[in-house]
Chain A
């Protein structure tokens, strides 16, 4: 095949240059903006990572408060992601496959936690968990307390992380052709067997990515947690406390450790989710 420009040979030199100009402009814009955005993200992060001196950093690493707060951050958000996996997957499947009246409403309801100011999330959860509310009364009769407990932190993280999980998994399940499920049914597999033999094997990567998103959202949460549980302290709350009490110099090393730990953890999970192995 000849290229289109060959078919119109007249005025090739200048016309081509002119034609190329918007292309150059476009690519310039593309790469300059991308570079700026990367700089904007990595600049402050690099500053944070490289500014603490090694002594302060080592000292922080030995600080049991720091380590336990980081562990608490990771374990509570991991727990929230696991709960999202168990409870959010069915909802995502229903939204991906079923058409029903009010589906739009349900979908925007799920997105709501993304938009609500974080302290409000904490306040809402606390007010529900209070003694005066029937749900709170029921929970306290079971011995479950949200105020100032790990349970409370997990509840908050589940609330703010669920939209990310459900939306990711919904998109993943929509990408599985309904015909595959129909064929599976025709071959004798019931709806449950079809779900576990066809839908999940074809969308498990999205489940994993959804959990990563949910967990990432949980690790970064501050505003809602600080209202529900100042203690036990998660890493962001500890950072805030160190910042207000001792200043930037002592809050930064905590941030560095949290950033490094989360980065390795997420790189690892992303790695699993993108393996092009036998199951793809």
Chain B
């Protein structure tokens, strides 16, 4: 169990915390946040590379706040791999073993097992400069795991990789986590990584934890508008809640009144994913859905799908379009459409500041 209590670090122009966090033994935990939110800083504090000004860190009940990095039994993997350029793949992987294994042969055997598992055996004698991004990152993982750490710290391990390698490495990470039973603490700015890998997560913003819990919980029930946007709820609308009903905050113009049973009365926000908003030329949505007449302002391509900005009663919605509508040229900018969504897909965030 990793326990962080009231951790605090003040730098010129940035302050981290006070921040408290708990990660279960053997968990795959993700710390998410945008660039500059303090994720890497927190990682380096856990690694012992940066001293916090206040607070306490415990690994398995033992206080390590002031312990040197080499005494913490951690593995560290950076986004840019940070392989030792003067050593071969094997020498990189066995670099730290002399500090952790009494028996050299045992360590080497363990390293070879890891290399087999990650498909690195053919690269044994190669130097880092000759490896691809994915290979480098697998070597970095093997190097960290070869010392049997009790905690793996991963700093955006996937974001420097080309998309075709990313899926493979995700699989590797998952297998390694299952195979070793080590606690993984991963920092990322990409929510997709968290969804694919982590069972629990936290979102950090401007040095503070905004939400912490099971990954799916954060995905489905973001606590603030910032997190809602972060997890892909691109439509965030101010709303007024009263008697278990939600009124979108556009007095006189919005007919929609959504059931919002568990939301306390007062001001709040309604968040909707583009995937849950449907656009149609002639309505025809189920009766209990909310339908709003509107105009298409713009259509943009997002990889294999299209997003449309639709204006309804002066509010802009972003909706994912069905391929058919775009490919058959039936819808274009300026088209009059009907926007519909299932009220159950709306997520409600109480509080007036989000």
Residues of chain A touching chain B, judged by Cβ–Cβ distance below 8 Å, are 177, 179-180, 182-190, 197-198, 201-202, 279-280
Q: Are A182 and B69 in contact (CB under 8 A)?
A: yes
Residues on B with C-beta less than 8 A from A182 are 44, 47, 49, 69, 76, 82
- Residue B86 at the chain A interface, CB threshold 8 Å: yes
Binds A, one of B92-100, B221-229, B264-272, B335-343: B92-100
- Residue B199 at the chain A interface, CB threshold 8 Å: no
6 more contacts with CB within 8 A, not counting A180-B82, A183-B82, A185-B70, are A179-B82, A185-B48, A185-B49, A187-B75, A187-B95, A188-B73
Q: Are B70 and A189 in contact (CB under 8 A)?
A: yes
Most buried by A among B70, B73, B153: B70
- Residue B191 at the chain A interface, CB threshold 8 Å: no
Residues on A with C-beta less than 8 A from B86 are 201-202, 279-280
Residues on A with C-beta less than 8 A from B99 are 187-189
Residues on B with C-beta less than 8 A from A188 are 70, 73, 96, 99-100, 147
Report Cα–Cα, A76/B147, bound state, in Å. 47
Most buried by A among B72, B73, B86: B86
Report Cα–Cα, A279/B88, bound state, in Å. 10
Q: A182-B76, A183-B76, A183-B78 known; A189 and B84 CB under 8 Å?
A: no
Report Cα–Cα, A177/B73, bound state, in Å. 22
Find residues 39-80 in chain B having any chain A CB closer than 8 Å to their own CB.
Answer: 44, 47-49, 68-70, 72-76, 78, 80
Q: Are B78 and A179 in contact (CB under 8 A)?
A: yes
Q: Are A186 and B76 in contact (CB under 8 A)?
A: yes
- Residue B143 at the chain A interface, CB threshold 8 Å: yes
- Residue B144 at the chain A interface, CB threshold 8 Å: yes
The 5 listed contacts between A and B (C-beta, < 8 Å) are A182-B49, A182-B76, A186-B47, A186-B69, A186-B96
Most buried by A among B72, B95, B143: B95
Report Cα–Cα, A185/B74, bound state, in Å. 10
Q: A187-B147, A188-B147, A201-B86 known; A179 and B74 CB under 8 Å?
A: no
Q: Are B96 and A189 in contact (CB under 8 A)?
A: yes
Q: What is the minimal beta-carbon distance from A13 to any residue of chain B, in angstroms?
A: 42
- Residue B334 at the chain A interface, CB threshold 8 Å: no
Q: What is the minimal beta-carbon distance from B46 to any residue of chain A, in angstroms?
A: 10
Report Cα–Cα, A201/B88, bound state, in Å. 13
- Residue B85 at the chain A interface, CB threshold 8 Å: yes
SS of B interface (majority): loop
Report Cα–Cα, A182/B105, bound state, in Å. 26
Out of A177, A189, A201, which one reaches B82, CB within 8 Å?
Answer: A177
Closest to A182 in B: B49
Q: What is the minimal beta-carbon distance from A177 to any residue of chain B, in angstroms?
A: 7
Residues on B with C-beta less than 8 A from A197 are 95
Most buried by B among A183, A186, A189, A201: A186
Closest to A204 in B: B86
| B interface bracket (residues with beta carbon within 8 Å of A) | 20 to 34
Q: What is the minimal beta-carbon distance from B253 to any residue of chain A, in angstroms?
A: 49
Q: Are A187 and B78 in contact (CB under 8 A)?
A: no
Residues on A with C-beta less than 8 A from B78 are 179, 183
Residues on B with C-beta less than 8 A from A177 are 82
Q: What is the minimal beta-carbon distance from B316 to any residue of chain A, in angstroms?
A: 38
Report Cα–Cα, A180/B96, bound state, in Å. 13
Q: What is the minimal beta-carbon distance from A215 to any residue of chain B, in angstroms?
A: 26
Report Cα–Cα, A210/B47, bound state, in Å. 34
Q: What is the minimal beta-carbon distance from B273 to any residue of chain A, in angstroms?
A: 37
Residues on B with C-beta less than 8 A from A180 are 82, 84
Residues on B with C-beta less than 8 A from A183 are 76, 78, 82, 84, 143
Report Cα–Cα, A184/B68, bound state, in Å. 12
Residues on B with C-beta less than 8 A from A187 are 70, 75-76, 95-96, 99, 143-144, 147
Report Cα–Cα, A97/B336, bound state, in Å. 63
Residues on A with C-beta less than 8 A from B96 are 184, 186-189
Closest to B149 in A: A186
Residues on B with C-beta less than 8 A from A202 are 84-86
Q: What is the minimal beta-carbon distance from A153 to any residue of chain B, in angstroms?
A: 37
Report Cα–Cα, A184/B49, bound state, in Å. 11
Q: What is the minimal beta-carbon distance from A97 to any residue of chain B, in angstroms?
A: 12
Report Cα–Cα, A201/B68, bound state, in Å. 23
Find residues 133-164 in chain B having any chain A CB closer than 8 Å to their own CB.
Answer: 143-144, 147, 153
Q: Are B144 and A186 in contact (CB under 8 A)?
A: yes
Q: What is the minimal beta-carbon distance from B124 to any residue of chain A, in angstroms?
A: 15
Q: What is the minimal beta-carbon distance from A179 to any residue of chain B, in angstroms?
A: 4
Q: What is the minimal beta-carbon distance from B205 to any residue of chain A, in angstroms?
A: 25
Report Cα–Cα, A206/B147, bound state, in Å. 32
Report Cα–Cα, A177/B85, bound state, in Å. 11
Q: What is the minimal beta-carbon distance from B317 to any residue of chain A, in angstroms?
A: 40
Closest to A190 in B: B70
Residues on B with C-beta less than 8 A from A198 are 84
Report Cα–Cα, A198/B96, bound state, in Å. 12
Out of B70, B80, B84, B85, which one reaches A186, CB within 8 Å?
Answer: B70
Q: Are A179 and B147 in contact (CB under 8 A)?
A: no
Report Cα–Cα, A187/B297, bound state, in Å. 55
Residues on A with C-beta less than 8 A from B73 are 188
Closest to B47 in A: A186
Q: Are A190 and B47 in contact (CB under 8 A)?
A: no
Q: A179-B82, A180-B84, A202-B85 known; A186 and B75 CB under 8 Å?
A: yes
Q: What is the minimal beta-carbon distance from A222 to any residue of chain B, in angstroms?
A: 40
